[in-house]
Chains A and B, each alone.
Chain A
Amino acid sequence: MLRDGWVPTMCYQCKAECAILARVEDGVLKEVRGNPRGRGKACVKGMAGVSLQYNADRLTQPLRRVGRRGEGRFEPCGWDEALDAIAGKLQELRDRGEAHKLTASFFPHSITDPKWRFLNAYGGFINTALPHCDSAKIVAFIKAMGGVPNHHIPPAFFTVPKGGIMIMAGRHAFGCLDDASVPRDILEAKARGAILVVLDPLFTADAAKADWWIPIRPSGDTALFTGMTHHIVMNGLHNKSFVENWVREGDFERLKDYLADKTPEAMSRICDVPAKDIIKLAEMCAAAPSVGVDSFKGIMLGQAMDFGHAWTNFLAVTGNIDNPGGQPLPDLTPLAPVEPVPPAPNLHERGWHRTGPDKDKFAKYSFIMEPTWYQAQAIKNGDLKVLVVAECNPALTEMGQEEWRSAATMTDSKGNYLLEMLVSYEIMLSETSRYADYVLPDKTYFERWELLYMPWWYNFGQGIGLRQPVVEAPEGCRHSNEVFIELGKRLCPEYFAFKDDVEFYDRQLTGLGLSVKKLQDLGGLWSPGTLGFRKYEKAGGFGTPSGKVHLYWEDLEEVGQALPRVDLAPEYRVDAEQYPYVLLSYRTIFHQGSGQWTHNNPQLRDPVGGFRDNPLLINTATARKEGIKDGDLVTLRSRSGQVRVRAKCTERIRPDCLGLHHGFGSSIGRVAAGGGGVSDNALIPDSGTTLDWQDLVGGESHVSTRVRLEH
């Protein structure tokens, strides 16, 4: 029963999914606020969610492709026809023993997501935006500390004590892709005497508020942290009690041997941060009551695992694990399993990352999901036959977009598409839906039910949030979760013996003695409100086999990664003469990565209220050297593509780098089509084609690349 007034729900303008209040008047959504019973903030994207809700480009009926893939020609069809076609194809795929050749691409924002259940029950794979973000960090934390890490999520800045140090390593925390309370919490911590240090080749909004901005060379983070660790360890500045009690026996000595030649001077030559600054920061960190390191883009590169490793080693020797202001470890919320629980497909048997010449090596990839670049490679290999895309946009916002587009249109000798079916759930048409056989009209986050549980939330270890309908969806829209439940009832009914999504969530909530109704009555949020520190002490150790923190990773000895490799990632080293600049793909608070929601939103493309365009940021001195004037149209070329873009001369970027805001380039939709901007991903090769650059256990060389300027 919908009601007017302020209704608690959860935002989904980006992956942070903040707790919000939505004001409804006569059944119409009017306003959004941060929910004070959550962490109280919603960002500009969240506010502009009202414009998404009433966007004139919203789809309200299923579409069937009538032209060739990529042409974007469709005609309306009924839900029955679309569902029969999709279920029929999935039945056929399973009958021929190829259920694992179904991939659904979506953001697994909750382990309660019925889409995930469907994939496990049917035998398909999830392919997610996650591995391209921070999988290396996740894997590093699992290896070093065991268990589910607090990965995507920064240190709990609201716990940083006076004098604590907050290091943003390539992280744009003021971009609000974590909880919208993060900027406030960082500034509050600063106000009580914490210190903000930003490592970034670009002068970001975060850098503007930093006590110290260090314009590091891209991918130099591993060397910087290793140089700091050298100084701390060799000078006996490490946290002796943590190392003695909680680092696995023998690891510290191995680390010390490894560090012998990794002096600040040697590391300075790699990361281009003066040795005296590495020493200064190391001494600050050793003396501080806490150090929290937040990164995201800092690790979005090949050899990212090494950065994750260098970072966890640094945290361990400084004793900054699960302490106030350090790296939190999450608590788990005891939701009830919905019996019977479908077994996930055996990934090792079915083949991790079934792609490319190094297919076998990728058996070592230890993350739980497929990366996005897998799609194009797997289509070519015959390993991906049905792709269902929801809430992501691989034809535009992922690296190797041209590779993806080409793979999606590849045919066999009879003219049949190698990818036999592509289904796209959309709130409005996107670049990806142009390639779809069926486009299904999704509900917005103001129209649907979802139980959100993410152990990695900033909001605390324990907590759940209820997304509930606050306004009616247009007739004809169905949420992807409802449709997956419908497909589950048809194809694997034993695992979908519940009425609908609400009943599915009800069953999970019994673990907390709650139901959807009770959770609604509670205000849509549940948490005991505890964070807890040094939980490993009570638990009798960490989740690693030894119960201690592992600095040395013997399982990676044979690939030479038992300890971090400190060199720059390969994408920053190769062909430097032909491509002299490193392209930085950066973010701001106005746009999330997937494209349409924010790029086809008038408020977020408005010059006063948002960010219209993505000119090429070029250092003023570099522009002068290249003979480029502000506003000139230039060609930016990489190994894999080129774009024409206007130059913006600025002081806010390293002279050896160029910057493009990520996610632009959409030409579909009333607002997006009229806006400028180019896609950075046109320049960035599909990681599947650069496997030799690729970290085998979690990194992806796909965010930045080397480029040259032509004009």
Chain B
Amino acid sequence: MNQLSLAIDLSRCIGCKTCVAACRNYHGLTDHASDMPGKMPYYLRVESRREGSFPNLKLESWVVPCQHCNNAPCVKACKSGSISKDEQTGIVRIDQGKCQGSGDCLKACPYGVIQFDAARNKAHKCDMCWDLVHGGQKPVCAQVCLTDAIRFGEKQLLRMELKAEGKEILKRMSAQSVLYYRDSV
């Protein structure tokens, strides 16, 4: 398996959430006419960490999509067998036809990235834009990122690129299939 991956640059992410809105639009997660703030599903979220005290401050932001875990707990937790890690790409997918809506995967996910659609009684989440990537395109978040802070590709190639550029890969954050990195200090 050649794991597909996103590589997220903490030196470039400005926390603008453009990826969140674009992802919602592409995946049809929003009913524009009726949805209300706080009620919309999301496949990505932005996190940030601010350190220091005035005036010596540091702030880093990054996005958290599904991590497409190496040994995905959601796959194990799903009793209906509707979640699988794709052999070819490593993308973790939920088969909407099979999903029974038990919600077990939501509880099992250590990253809190699985959404639950109560109306359809289905779990759903980031599939790394399966259809787009199989058509030779990048996932939406990588396409739209305002500062080009999101790269897409095979994990080992991305890692090679980042190493060649002297980037610091954040090992703790990159424990699964998504890489997080920053400019080396």
Task: Check if A and B associate.
Answer: yes
Q: Which residues of A come within 8 Å of B, CB atoms? A: 30-34, 41-44, 46-48, 50-51, 53-56, 174, 176, 180, 183-184, 187, 203, 205, 207-209, 213, 215, 589-590, 602-603, 605-610, 612, 619-621, 651-655, 670-671, 674-675
B45 touching A43, Cβ below 8 Å: no
Asked if B146 and A205 sit within 8 Å, CB to CB, the answer is no
Size of interface on B: residues with Cβ below 8 Å to A: 41
Does B53 count as interface, using CB distance less than 8 angstroms? Answer: yes
Nearest Cβ on chain A to B59's Cβ, whole angstroms:
4
The digit string for B1-39, where 1 denotes a CB below 8 A from any CB of A, is 000000000011011111011101110101011111110
* Contact call B14/A208, Cβ cutoff below 8 A: yes
Most buried by A among B55, B61, B143, B144: B144
Q: Known contacts A606-B37, A606-B38; decide if A174 and B16 are in contact (CB<8 Å).
A: yes
Is the CB of B148 closer than 8 A to any CB of chain A? yes
The interface of chain B, by Cβ under 8 A from chain A, is 11-12, 14-18, 20-22, 24-26, 28, 30, 32-38, 40, 42, 45-46, 50, 52-55, 57-61, 143-144, 146-148
A48 to B18, CA, bound (A): 9
Q: Indicate if the CB atoms of B32 and A32 lie closer than 8 Å.
A: no
Residue among A31, A606, A675 with the highest chain B CB neighbour number at 10 A = A606
Decide: A609 and B24 in contact? CB cutoff 8 A.
yes
CA distance A76 to B148 in the complex (A): 47
17 cross-chain CB contacts under 8 A:
A30-B25, A31-B25, A33-B22, A41-B144, A41-B146, A54-B32, A174-B14, A183-B16, A184-B146, A184-B148, A187-B147, A208-B57, A213-B55, A608-B20, A610-B21, A610-B37, A651-B50
- Contact residues in B for A34 (Cβ distance below 8 Å): 144
Cα–Cα, bound, A183→B61 (Å): 14
Report A-chain residues with C-beta under 8 Å of the C-beta of B20.
44, 608-609
Verify A54–B146 contact, CB threshold 8 A.
Answer: no
Q: Which of these, B16, B32, B46, B54, contacts A43 with CB under 8 Å?
A: B16
Taking a contact as CB atoms under 8 Å apart, the answer to whether A608 and B18 are in contact is no
Q: Which residues of chain B are near A50, meaning CB under 8 Å?
A: 25, 30, 32
A208–B60 alpha-carbon span in the complex (Å): 7
Whether B37 pairs with A607 at a CB distance below 8 angstroms is: yes
Contacts of A607 in B (CB 8 A): 37-38
Contact B146 A602 (CB under 8 A): no
Task: Contact check, A605 vs B37: say whether CB atoms are below 8 A apart.
Answer: yes
Closest CB in chain A relative to B41 CB, distance in Å:
9
Let me know if B26 and A602 touch, CB within 8 A: no
Question: What residues of chain B lie closer than 8 Å to A44, measured between beta carbons?
Answer: 16-18, 20-21, 146
User: Residue on B with the closest CB to A610?
Assistant: B17
C-alpha spacing A670/B34, complex, angstroms: 9
Query: With A44-B16, A47-B144 as given contacts, are A603 and B21 in contact (CB-CB < 8 Å)?
Result: yes
Interface centre among B34, B46, B57, by most A CB within 10 Å? B57
Residues of chain B contacted by A54 (CB below 8 angstroms)? 32-33
In the complex, the answer to whether A589 meets B16 with C-beta atoms within 8 Å is yes
Chain B residues positioned under 8 Å from A41 (CB to CB)? 144, 146
